[in-house]
Amino acid sequence: MLAYICLVEIKQVIFEAVGQLMKGNLILCPADNFWGVCCDATQENAVQKIIELSEGDKSSHLTILLNSDAMVNNCVKEIPGIVWDLLDLHTEPLNLIMEGGLYVAKNALADDGSICFRLIKTGIAAEIMQKTRKPLVFYSGRFKDEKPSINPDDLNSQFKASSGFIVPSEFASLLSGKAEKIIRIQENGEINILRK
C-alpha cells in the first residue's frame, strides 16, 4: 500500500520504471518479500539479461510476477479450481508452478514449458504491472546462493550496475522478508509441495 507516499512521486517512479522496462532494461524493485531485479517477462532479450545474472542457471524456474486474476488467466493455459483457492487463502509469498505457460517470452519458462508465478496485488511492482499490463520476471539472487534482501543496499553490486532504474527504498517498507513457498500443480489438480 503506497498511500503514505506522495501521489506525484508514485507516478514519477512508475513512469521511470515503465520507461526502462519498455526499452528492455532491468530495474531494481521490491516485490512482496524481497528486493530483486525485474524485467518485462514478454521481452526475450530482457529475460536473457536476468538469465545471465543468474550465471545461466535454468535448473530452477524464473519467477514471474502477476498482479491480477486476469493476468493469471492470460499466462497459464489450464487452471484447476484448486489454484484459485490457494491464491485466495494464502497469506504469505507463494510461487505456483504449472504446465502450459503463455504470454511470456519462451526463455522465461522452464525447458518443459511450465511457468512459475506469484500473484501480488499490492506494492510498487503491482503498480508497475498495472501500468505496463505485462508480467515481470523477478530475480532475487537465489541462483548464486546469495541470501535475498529486504534492504537494497545489501544487494549484489552487479544487480545495481545492471539496472537502468532503482526504485527508491521507501517503496519497500512492507516487505515480508519471508522466502516464498513453492507448490507444483499438475493439470489434473495434483499438488506437490516443493518448498514449505
Domain architecture of the chain: domains with CATH: 7-195 (3.90.870.10)
- Sheet (strand 191-195) strand order: 163-166, 26-30, 35-40, 136-139, 63-66, 115-119, 94-98, 181-185, 191-195
Single-letter code of the amino acid located at 152: P
Do residues 121 and 68 make contact, with C-beta atoms less than 8 angstroms apart? Answer: yes
Q: Which of 4-8, 145-149, 158-162, 173-177 has the lowest mean pLDDT?
A: 4-8
Distance from C-alpha of 7 to C-alpha of 111, rounded to nearest angstrom: 41
User: What 3-state DSSP class applies to 139?
Assistant: strand
Mean pLDDT, residues 184-188: 90
pLDDT tens figures, 137-172: 999 876 556 678 888 888 878 888 899 999 998 888
Asked if 93 and 179 count as a contact pair (C-beta separation under 8 A), the reply is: yes
114-142 pLDDT, tens digit per residue, is: 999 999 999 999 999 999 999 999 998 76
